[in-house]
């Protein structure tokens, strides 16, 4: 599996390109900004995009949806609970003094335990609410892409609409910490970590 991570936009949100080495089919997770840069990376890797997947609906993770869809024709996937947020992206960015385009509506919504397949790769959808109501993580082959649910040494903020601290902590413990300790965690901001490291050292999640 090809994994390419790009920190994009003024909030340095991590956009992830996942590609199947054999078929060259790919997905783009959270194209928040700098769409031209993401598209160049796809071209460099000779990848064709099947899906644009949003881990949640905040502007710094979906701000590039429109241009990405216009260029690639790929379907936009997001959890049903966050799908309404796609039409409110510009307002969310404006509250931070920034400007982005509203996203087109989702082509499909996803639910907990659903599978998303491209090439020879299958992602398992894990509903991990708390940062937003429809936040999801995506697991495949020893890697989990968690959006803003969990960070290296920290957790997602819960003071935005739809956020809830207790729900977030429950999602982390019941949905993520049941994975093997050596599973690599790709967060929506900041460096990679592992499930085991966050179990042991994350001050927000240690029991």
Instruction: List alpha helices for the chain, DSSP H.
Output: 35-44, 59-62, 65-72, 89-94, 165-171, 195-201
The structural domain count of the chain equals 1
Q: Would you say residue 206 lies in a domain? A: no
Output DSSP code: residue 159.
Answer: -
Q: Would you say residue 154 lies in a domain? A: yes
Q: Would you say residue 207 lies in a domain? A: no
CATH number at residue 67: 3.60.15.10
Range of the domain at 24: 2-201
Residues linked to residue 108 through DSSP beta bridges, in sequence order: 77
Q: Would you say residue 15 lies in a domain? A: yes
Q: Can you read off the two tokens belonging to residue 185? A: 């965690």
Q: List the pLDDT tens digit at each of the 207 positions of the chain.
A: 999 999 999 999 999 999 999 999 999 999 999 999 999 999 999 999 999 999 999 999 999 999 999 999 999 999 999 999 999 999 889 988 998 989 999 999 999 999 999 999 999 999 999 999 999 999 999 999 999 999 999 999 999 889 999 999 999 999 999 999 999 999 999 999 999 999 999 999 976
Q: Would you say residue 79 lies in a domain? A: yes
């Amino acid at each position: 599996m090809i994994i390419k991570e790009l920190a994009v936009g003024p909030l340095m949100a991590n956009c992830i390109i996942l590609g199947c080495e054999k078929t060259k089919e790919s997905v783009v997770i959270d194209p928040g900004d700098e769409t031209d840069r993401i598209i160049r990376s796809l071209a460099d890797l000779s990848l064709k995009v099947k899906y644009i997947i949003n881990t949640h609906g905040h502007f710094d993770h979906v701000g590039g949806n429109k241009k990405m869809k216009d260029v690639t024709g790929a379907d936009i996937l997001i959890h049903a609970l966050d799908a309404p947020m796609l039409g409110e992206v510009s307002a969310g960015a404006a509250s931070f003094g920034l400007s982005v385009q509203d996203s087109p509506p989702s082509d499909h919504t996803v639910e907990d335990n659903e599978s998303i397949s491209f090439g020879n790769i299958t992602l398992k959808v894990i509903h991990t609410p708390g940062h937003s109501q429809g936040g999801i993580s995506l697991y495949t082959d020893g890697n989990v892409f968690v959006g803003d649910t969990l960070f290296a040494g920290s957790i997602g903020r819960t003071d935005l609409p739809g956020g809830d601290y207790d729900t977030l902590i429950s999602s982390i413990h019941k949905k993520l910490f049941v994975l093997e300790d050596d599973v690599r965690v790709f967060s929506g901001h900041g460096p990679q970590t592992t499930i085991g490291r966050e179990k042991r050292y994350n001050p927000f999640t240690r029991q």
